[in-house]
Amino acid sequence: MIGSAAQNVIALSDSVFLYHLSESDFAAIGFVSVFYLIITAIGYGFSRGGQILVARRSGEGDYRRAGGVFYSMLYLEMGLAIFFFLFIVLGCPYFFSLFVDTQVIYEKSLEYLQYRSYGVFPAFIGVSIIAFYTGIARTRMIMYDTIVLIVVNIGLNYSLIYGKWGMPEMGIAGAGLASTLAELAALIVFAIYMFFDKRLRPFRLLKIPKVDWQSIKINLRIASPIVAQAVVGLGSWFFFFGIVENMGERELAVSNLVRVIYLILSIPCWGYSVGVNTLVSNFIGQGHYKEVFDVINKTITLCVGSTLLIAIPSLLFPKYIMYPLLGSEDMSLFTEAQPIFYVLFAILTLFAIGGIYFNGMVGTGATFEGLKIQAICALFYVILIYVLINYFKVGLVAAWTVEIMYWIPLIFLTYRYLKGNTWRELKM
């Protein structure tokens, strides 16, 4: 319920537990979890628009209107949750058939969504609450609620996937149910805290207002670029996993293993990206335009150094470093993935550079320019991966190498934009 980061943690937890169950389950979760991440990223993206409005009204001292913005955001998120729930239940059987060739992957993906589909309701309501508390600059409870989510998810994954502690052995369906129940538990904890939070009285949240269509319209306008960026980025990942699935179940399982390790090793990059976004925005607000490029380059140095510090041992000796999480009697997936791990050195290095440049650019307020650049690079990536796999029949290592061709043009385009003067003239 706490945005895209929490959803990545859930996907990672599901993947780790299913890795120890079977190869087909592990392969299926790699495909279906990316699809589900796209849906939750849309809900999270629209909550960011509400967060900005709540912060603005709260900063103005208009707490009653800030409370009204929260409800407008909540109504929007509930509408989206209903839409995506119906799409998952009614549309996914046909939608997945367009991408998936392997019958067992198709069936297990739908089996996971049978219970995971209900998670859109606590997830979308949850991001509304998180956006509200972030907007009024009270984020401590978010950290505590994240811990609740992770602990409950891990415990339920263990019990429901493997049939432990008196629970039924549900396999991949258990992962879907565990993730949904964990989000529900986190939502209940936060809702109880919110109900007894006396500092919320000025916002008059106990009085439920009518739908404010104007507030919803403003939210949609602010959040649309954020949502579009998430859809473009994760959509290209979903397309990639769909193409890899066509290569075979084994290739999909190997790719999901690489993705899991990729997610773990890219954690420093995400942290630095958030930081540089804030720093750039603050420097511009203070009128220190000349220092913006310096702070971006210094952040890149720190990000590349931190990333490679953990990536070098992890990618050179993955069987040993990752054994506590992904160790088993059969380590053949690691053996097959080893050549791709070498490619990850280049990908992570470019990610550390490109991610900082891109988020630095977004920090200047150039969200639409960022969307255009990301869309161009993603389209180039998708076309290239489709042609190479379907027409030139390249292997898995070459398929993963294509991601390098996503980051190189993105770095070039964002660098060129930042070296220009257009961003100095942006008004917010």
Q: What percent of the chain has pLDDT over 90?
A: 60
Show the tokens assigned to 84: 């995506």
Show the tokens assigned to 141: 């409870």
Please tell me which residue, 197 or 365, carries the higher pLDDT value: 197
Q: What is the DSSP string of 136-165?
A: TT--HHHHHHHHHHHHHHHHHHHHHHHT-T
Tens of pLDDT, residue by residue over 159-171, are: 999 999 999 999 9
| 31 vs 203: CA distance, rounded Å | 42
Burial class (CB in 10 A: 0-12, 13-18, 19+), 3: buried
Please tell me which residue, 140 or 236, carries the higher pLDDT value: 236
Q: What is the mean pLDDT of the chain?
A: 90
> Residue ranges of the alpha helices (H) in 163-212?
172-195
Would you state the pLDDT for residue 105?
95
364: confidence class by pLDDT, cuts 50, 70, 90:
confident
Would you state the pLDDT for residue 1?
41
366: confidence class by pLDDT, cuts 50, 70, 90:
confident
| 176 vs 24: CA distance, rounded Å | 16
| Cβ(105)–Cβ(24) below 8 Å | yes
141: confidence class by pLDDT, cuts 50, 70, 90:
confident
Mean pLDDT comparison of 234-248, 265-279, 288-302, 340-354, highest-scoring range: 340-354
Q: Which amino acid is at 119?
A: G
Per-residue pLDDT, averaged over 50-64, amounts to 82
Answer positive or negative: Cα dihedral of 20, 25, 31, 33.
Answer: negative
**C-alpha separations of 178 from 118, 155, 160, 200, 256 in Å:** 11, 8, 7, 31, 20
Tens of pLDDT, residue by residue over 36-49, are: 999 999 998 898 88
Residue 215 has pLDDT above 70, yes or no: yes
Would you state the pLDDT for residue 162?
96
6: confidence class by pLDDT, cuts 50, 70, 90:
confident
Q: What percent of the chain has pLDDT over 70?
A: 98
Closest residue by Cα to residue 22 from 190, 256, 204: 256
Would you state the pLDDT for residue 413?
96
Residue 299 has pLDDT above 90, yes or no: yes
Tens of pLDDT, residue by residue over 78-113, are: 999 999 999 999 999 999 999 999 999 999 999 999
Tens of pLDDT, residue by residue over 18-30, are: 999 999 999 999 9
Tens of pLDDT, residue by residue over 381-427, are: 999 999 999 999 999 999 999 999 999 999 999 999 999 888 787 66
359: confidence class by pLDDT, cuts 50, 70, 90:
confident
User: 65-79, 352-366, 385-399 — which is least confidently predicted?
Assistant: 352-366
| 147 vs 155: CA distance, rounded Å | 12
The residue extents of the domains of the chain are 1-224, 266-428
